[in-house]
Amino acid sequence: MSVFSEEPVVDVQNAYILQEYQTVLGKVTFQITKGEFVYLIGRTGSGKSSLLKTLYADLPLRSGEMKVAGYSIQKIKRADIPFLRRKIGIIFQDFQLFPDRSVADNLLFVMRATGWTDSARIKSRLAEVLMRVGLGAIGTKMPHQLSGGEQQRVVIARALLNEPQILFADEPTGNLDPEVSEGILQLFMEINRSGTAVLMATHNHNFLKQHPARILKCQSGKLIDSLTDEISLTS
């Protein structure tokens, strides 16, 4: 491949998304290019989380092809999954920080697990990602001393540590009030403007109206794409 051609960050061809051998979504085909911002919508139980889990190799892909950040998901070996996860960032609704560790220790845990060893670089990267998400010197605080919005910012900082090509966010504002949610969306958009692609599952249709972007929608066992299809936000 030429160094000038842009390989998509996500390339899905005719994939079947399964939960315990039941097809949740069939014939899924789409691509996400570098630096794109994409919403993922659909009713509860329509398959958003299942699609995201398949993309980050938490659910097996048994039919079709998926390439994520250069890794073939249908072929990936268990031992390579941690390497895939270094190239992507995953953010959930329930913040998933270790409650018994400080903010800095939560981030350090990931850095140590992903091969960071130089203590000066660790320290500067830690400060850098916390600044990036709008949090200053809160490294010594425990998660319970932070608001929900601040905890989600720490989670986003953690996801940014290894400069991922794409962030997969599964309802990242589901547990936050509207004002705080808007701030978190703004943060995702800011991160996106600096070149990181984002695929965000959300039920918050205000986001789509106020900050329009491409939409993928899980509907009746299929994935429809605003690039090619008319998408209804009401059904």
Binding site for ligand ATP (CB under 6 A): 19-20, 24, 42, 44-50, 218
Minimum CB–partner distance for residue 205 and ligand ATP (Å): 13
3-class SS at 148?
helix
Minimum CB–partner distance for residue 43 and ligand ATP (Å): 7
Minimum CB distance to ligand ATP smaller for 106 or for 202: 202
**Cβ burial 130-158 (10 Å sphere, 16+ → b, else e):** bebbebeebbeeebeebebbbbbbbbbbb
CA distances from 131 to 46, 126, 139, 150 (A): 36, 9, 11, 12
The angle formed by the CA atoms of residues 60, 151 and 36, to the nearest 5 degrees, is 55
CA 25, CA 41: separation in Å to the nearest integer? 13
Minimum CB–partner distance for residue 56 and ligand ATP (Å): 13
Minimum CB distance to ligand ATP smaller for 17 or for 157: 17
Length of the chain counted residue by residue: 235
Minimum CB–partner distance for residue 108 and ligand ATP (Å): 31
Minimum CB distance to ligand ATP smaller for 40 or for 88: 40
